[in-house]
Structure 1
Amino acid sequence: MASNRDWLEAGLVLLAEQGAPSVTIERLADRLGLSKGSFYHHFKGMSGYRTALLEHFEAERTTRFVELAEQAQGDRLRALMDLVLAPGPGPELEIAVRAWALQDAEARTVQERIDRTRTDYLTELCGDAGLGQALYLVVVGAGQVVPPLSGRRLRSALELVLGRSK
């Protein structure tokens, strides 16, 4: 039996691969090899699921990153960079959520909160609002170019911004 988390993780994968319109009960059930009835065991309907999916994205890709960076010994900014650059769902997921936010008021509200939380935390870490925003814009922009910058190339761009700020 799949857990709520299994359904939400499957939704993030679908979202990253094919965008918000692809996240349907049928596709989720097929991906997990379960019946649609199993979906309704965990969620009241698609509206509730989408709300939970946005909350899960925020918790996994923002709240958890801040918490882990805070627990890091030493340089919290470097620890955060390591988390952001770690293998896993990368630019595709971020792009999909931003695209969803352009067409859905609830997704937009969540994306605005995520952006605010991330830039506020970067500002706190850097002690400089301009630098915090610049770092965030590099990460967001790196995901928007085709093909997206990732890994070593994105780290180099972030290091360049950090080096120039000193």
Structure 2
Amino acid sequence: MGSTGERAWLSAGLALLSEQGAPSVTLERLCERMGMSKGAFYHHFGSMPRFRTRLLAHFEAEHTTAIIDAVEAPGGLPARERLTRLMAEAIKNTGPELEIAVRAWAKQDPEAAAVQTRVDATRVDYLRKLCEEAGHATPDMMAKLLYLVLIGGSHVMPPLSPADKHRVYDLLLPLLG
């Protein structure tokens, strides 16, 4: 997705979003974080609305598509093994702050809401597919349950640690049958 320079700006944007929320993702703060000029920013993105669109796409690519691709990369793995790999990838890849920040942004912004809706649907659909392949009697509900642990575990105070999420998944995965 884009050049190395663009990726650096997008990574800085996700860091700001994660640390301070969507209102903090401003041209001034991005330039300060990057140690770059506004001209450098405009060279890559042209405008803040375009940057925000790209930032949302970057979030989706890095925190959904890339995870699914990593799980599927070995090819031919049984569904249960892919589920285990998925849980491990999702837990290590997604800090609670970023997920919370994107969801908060989605409550305020229609474009962010559309991306969050698509991300949730993609994640749950992939989980449903794996649960179905694993032979679960109600793959839709099991997929939602597994996803609720990931998302809900980020929203409780304090958030569930990665180790606690692994323990919860260790309890849930045998329910696949």
TM over 0.5, shorter chain: yes
Which secondary structure does the structure 1 equivalent of 2:166 belong to?
helix
RMSD between aligned residues: 1.5
Aligned length in residues? 165
**Aligned CA distance change for structure 1 residues 139 and 95 (closer, same or farther; 3 Å):** same
Q: Specify the alignment match of 2:58 in structure 1.
A: 56
Q: Specify the alignment match of 2:42 in structure 1.
A: 40
8 Å Cα contact 1:72-1:79 kept in structure 2: no
Which secondary structure does the structure 1 equivalent of 2:46 belong to?
coil
Give the CA deviation at 1:32: 0.8
Q: Specify the alignment match of 2:90 in structure 1.
A: 84
Tell me how far apart the structure 2 counterparts of residues 129 and 72 of structure 1 sit (CA, whole Å).
Answer: 25
Q: Specify the alignment match of 1:164 in structure 2.
A: 175
Q: Give the one of 51, 71, 93 matched to 2:98.
A: 93
> After the TM superposition, which parts of structure 1 deviate over 2 Å for at least 4 consecutive aligned residues?
163-166
Q: Specify the alignment match of 1:28 in structure 2.
A: 30
Aligned pairs (5 A) from 1:1-166: 3-72=5-74, 74=77, 75-86=81-92, 89-127=94-132, 128-166=139-177
Per-residue CA shift, 1:27-54, capped at 9, x if unaligned? Answer: 0111111111110010111000000000
8 Å Cα contact 1:16-1:89 kept in structure 2: no
Per-residue CA shift, 1:19-76, capped at 9, x if unaligned? Answer: 0000001101111111111100101110000000000000000011111111136311
Tell me how far apart the structure 2 counterparts of residues 60 and 49 of structure 1 sit (CA, whole Å).
Answer: 16
Per-residue CA shift, 1:110-133, capped at 9, x if unaligned? Answer: 000000000000000111111111
Give the CA deviation at 1:164: 3.3
Tell me how far apart the structure 1 counterparts of residues 60 and 11 of structure 2 sit (CA, whole Å).
Answer: 12
Per-residue CA shift, 1:78-98, capped at 9, x if unaligned? Answer: 111121122x55110000000
Flag structure 2 segments of 5+ consecutive residues without an equivalent: 133-138
8 Å Cα contact 2:12-2:33 kept in structure 1: yes
Tell me how far apart the structure 2 counterparts of residues 6 and 70 of structure 1 sit (CA, whole Å).
Answer: 27
**Aligned CA distance change for structure 1 residues 72 and 80 (closer, same or farther; 3 Å):** farther
Tell me how far apart the structure 1 counterparts of residues 174 and 160 of structure 2 sit (CA, whole Å).
Answer: 19
Letter in 2 for 1:147: P
